[in-house]
Chains A and B, each alone.
Chain A
Amino acid sequence: MTDKFKGLKIVLYYTGYIILGFSFLNLLPVAVALLYKDFNSALDFTLNFSISAIIAIGMMTYGAETKKIKNSINLRYGLTVASLTWIILTMLAAIPYMLSGHMLSYLDACFDVMSGFTTTGVFLLQDLDHISQALNFWRHLLTFVGGQGMVVLALSFFVKEMGSAYKFYVGEGKDIALMPNVKGTSQWIWKISMVYLAIGTLVLWISAMGLGLQPLSAFFHALYIFEAAWSTGGFAPNLQNVMYYHDFGFELIGMVFFIIGSFNFGLHFALIQGKRKEFFKNIEVISFTITSLLGTALAVFALKNAGVYSDGIALFRRVVYNVLSAHTTTGFGSIYARQFALEWGGLGITVMVIAMLIGGSACSTAGGIKGLRVGIIFKGIVSDIKKLVSGENSVKVVKYHHIKDLILDDAVFRSSAAVAILYLVMFAGGVIITTAYGYPLAESAFEVASVSGNVGLSIGIISAQMPTLMKWYYMMAMYLGRLEFISVLALIGLMFKGAKQWLRRY
């Protein structure tokens, strides 16, 4: 392979491969559209399939020489492929949105797709209650696939074609090894998700029929709610989100699945292997339990004191539900967006902001700083304080349990702290921009924490009418938050290098 544009060719070849695989997903909403005799929507997705496939094949053809060096690809290229794939797929998956006539602009369509892929759940789509079944299917499919990861999906099928698989895998913010090889790990992630998909959809389907929905309609509602819950996405097929169903049982089932979905795939795998003790020893489970209990207790205290909710059931359904939805970065809302601003008060909003920023588990479908990092940072700080107080000179090894016993050294602490700081910087930047447009501080913090942590709850700022700069920033925050910075930094680095080489040449 010649050195000229080598990096570009490698990146385009593999990005093309993933996009080609993804293009076939368009055939699912085509089938749904045909089921409803909705030929207009069927054409929208046929068009998207064709455009995606043509672009993918073009990219692969340009980088065809890459096949010869598939086992010696630099990590930088792997990370770049992951981040570039997300951008191009966002642009392509937005096409059916635009063709549906429910978007005010292409930027809004990209915003919604990015929100879906990153399992955020906010949207700018107009008149959600009148969109086609095929488009609703597409919205929830995107969030389901995005939750497990597009690259993970590609690796499950095409690992033979994608040498140096690990370098692509880590690019999507996942680093857990369930099996000795990446293909096995990717396939296990999908196996776990598909088993839950079958169980979850069935349980919700039965429940939805019990609510009075017609069997076919109940099936799609169940499928969508499961996909959004498991992926901690927070989309729902109707404007009222989970309030559409008016049922405690239905909310509860969804809640169970979004909590399970926010757990690390490594934990799921350990439990499948019969290692039940892992659940009680895992640092992420401990961290999530502590922060959830603290968060819900504080929010319940705030809302009870404010006299908003009087009885236990109401406090559970309207307060505990929303705090857990925020903490797991799901974004299902059992109250109206504006109720947060009008009723929750300073303490309630602060709890929500912190819960959204912490987020769920690493290597799960959840976003945020992640329980693992919070646990590591907390343990590291406690250990440092202990060392200072005791004045001991001896070096004490600090351990934590995450699937196995691990040593908490400086490098682990530093990398966790670095990601947490980057999150907080991104959050601060978003708050500055939002407040600069005149929005109140608490509401701005809520909205920016929601997009940075890939949550999807809204306090009422996000709308198609919000300033364009805010749309761009929120999209970037969702993207960076989901890929956890490193891959995107690799993409930016490669772009700068390429531009520098190009300038030197000409």
Chain B
Amino acid sequence: MVKTLLGLILSITLTNSPVNTINYLIEHSLTRDQQTVIIEGEILGEVLERGDNAWINVNDGTNAIGVYLRLDQTTELKVFGDYFNIGDKIRVVGVFERSCIEHGGEMDIHATSIQIIEPGRPIDHPVSSWKFVISIILMSIALFALYLKRHYFKKAEIKSEVN
């Protein structure tokens, strides 16, 4: 409860603070180490549960990073990015760890709060009609060529055996 409240206060305080890109954090990891930072990006894949906590991976377009958070913080996350979806875009406020002692030296962010700033949406992958037509034509040619090859080469083999 206290942690949630502190997180809330911190996120309100940092609302107007600049958002860092993940690549910026990597490049300036020494100076940003164990500082509270803000990143914004798309959540990817799936929630990786670890008991009462969890990992989510966030991609901000420059790079992707693991965000460690409480499992209950993930309940509001609905859409995760993959081929079929653009994931929810979230704002993460948390402590940046250059070499996290808790996680085997991983560069990560321990989230104090997360907030969805843009809900995810499905990606449309319409089947192009030209691709469909060309596929049918080329497939027919390929199958016909395979049929011819089978007969032509068999015939040539018999002929060479006779000779």
In the assembled complex, 16 residue pairs joining A and B whose CB atoms fall closer than 8 Å, in A order, are: A40-B128, A47-B134, A54-B142, A60-B149, A61-B149, A64-B153, A129-B59, A130-B86, A132-B125, A246-B66, A311-B105, A318-B104, A334-B106, A338-B26, A338-B27, A342-B26
| Chain B, range 103-154, C-beta contacts under 8 Å to A | 103-108, 123, 125-128, 131-132, 134-135, 138-139, 141-142, 145-146, 148-149, 152-153
* Pairwise interchain contact B139-A129, C-beta atoms closer than 8 A: no
Asked if B47 lies at the interface with its beta carbon under 8 angstroms from chain A, I say: yes
* Pairwise interchain contact A212-B125, C-beta atoms closer than 8 A: no
- Select which of A46, A67, A339 is within 8 A of B107 by beta carbon: A339
- Measured between beta carbons, the chain A residues less than 8 angstroms from B145 are 53-54, 57-58
Using A36-B83, A64-B153, A338-B26 as known contacts, list a sample of 7 further A-B pairs with CB atoms less than 8 Å apart, ordered by residue number in A: A43-B131, A46-B135, A132-B83, A238-B45, A244-B64, A246-B108, A308-B99
- Measured between beta carbons, the chain B residues less than 8 angstroms from A311 are 101, 105
- Measured between beta carbons, the chain B residues less than 8 angstroms from A49 are 139, 142
One digit per residue, 1 when the CB lies within 8 angstroms of any chain A CB and 0 when it does not, for chain B 45-57 equals: 1111110001101
Nearest 10 interchain pairs by C-beta = A314-B105, A50-B138, A50-B142, A212-B49, A317-B104, A53-B142, A318-B105, A212-B48, A57-B145, A132-B83
* Pairwise interchain contact B106-A243, C-beta atoms closer than 8 A: yes
* Pairwise interchain contact A314-B48, C-beta atoms closer than 8 A: no
- Measured between beta carbons, the chain A residues less than 8 angstroms from B108 are 246
User: Which applies to chain A's interface (DSSP): helix, strand, loop or mixed?
Assistant: helix
- Distance in angstroms from A338 CB to nearest chain B CB is 5
* Pairwise interchain contact B149-A339, C-beta atoms closer than 8 A: no
Asked if B29 lies at the interface with its beta carbon under 8 angstroms from chain A, I say: yes
- Measured between beta carbons, the chain B residues less than 8 angstroms from A343 are 29
- Select which of A38, A51, A213 is within 8 A of B46 by beta carbon: A213
* Pairwise interchain contact A57-B157, C-beta atoms closer than 8 A: no
Given known pairs A67-B160, A130-B81, the reply for A314 and B101 (CB within 8 Å) is: yes
Given known pairs A246-B103, A314-B105, the reply for A238 and B139 (CB within 8 Å) is: no
* Pairwise interchain contact A40-B127, C-beta atoms closer than 8 A: yes
Given known pairs A38-B125, A318-B105, the reply for A64 and B55 (CB within 8 Å) is: no
- Interface size for B (C-beta < 8 A) is 54
- Distance in angstroms from B34 CB to nearest chain A CB is 13
* Pairwise interchain contact B54-A238, C-beta atoms closer than 8 A: no
- Select which of B81, B127, B152 is within 8 A of A129 by beta carbon: B81
- Measured between beta carbons, the chain A residues less than 8 angstroms from B95 are none
* Pairwise interchain contact B48-A64, C-beta atoms closer than 8 A: no
Asked if A336 lies at the interface with its beta carbon under 8 angstroms from chain B, I say: yes
- Measured between beta carbons, the chain A residues less than 8 angstroms from B156 are 64, 67
- Measured between beta carbons, the chain B residues less than 8 angstroms from A217 are 45-46
Cα(A211)–Cα(B46), bound, Å = 10
* Pairwise interchain contact A50-B139, C-beta atoms closer than 8 A: yes
Cα(A308)–Cα(B98), bound, Å = 9
- Measured between beta carbons, the chain A residues less than 8 angstroms from B142 are 49-51, 53-54, 57
Cα(A247)–Cα(B26), bound, Å = 20
- Distance in angstroms from B93 CB to nearest chain A CB is 20
- Measured between beta carbons, the chain B residues less than 8 angstroms from A50 are 135, 138-139, 141-142
- Select which of A51, A57, A318 is within 8 A of B149 by beta carbon: A57
Asked if B63 lies at the interface with its beta carbon under 8 angstroms from chain A, I say: yes
Cα(A40)–Cα(B126), bound, Å = 7
* Pairwise interchain contact B138-A246, C-beta atoms closer than 8 A: no
* Pairwise interchain contact A339-B48, C-beta atoms closer than 8 A: no
* Pairwise interchain contact A57-B127, C-beta atoms closer than 8 A: no
- Select which of A211, A214, A336, A342 is within 8 A of B63 by beta carbon: A336
* Pairwise interchain contact A245-B105, C-beta atoms closer than 8 A: no
Cα(A39)–Cα(B84), bound, Å = 12
Given known pairs A38-B125, A61-B149, A212-B46, the reply for A239 and B55 (CB within 8 Å) is: no
B68's closest neighbor in chain A, by CB? Answer: A246
Given known pairs A214-B46, A339-B107, A342-B29, the reply for A39 and B64 (CB within 8 Å) is: no
- Select which of A54, A57, A315 is within 8 A of B105 by beta carbon: A315
Cα(A317)–Cα(B134), bound, Å = 49
Cα(A316)–Cα(B138), bound, Å = 52
B49's closest neighbor in chain A, by CB? Answer: A212
- Measured between beta carbons, the chain A residues less than 8 angstroms from B59 are 129, 239
Given known pairs A54-B145, A243-B66, A314-B101, the reply for A342 and B27 (CB within 8 Å) is: yes
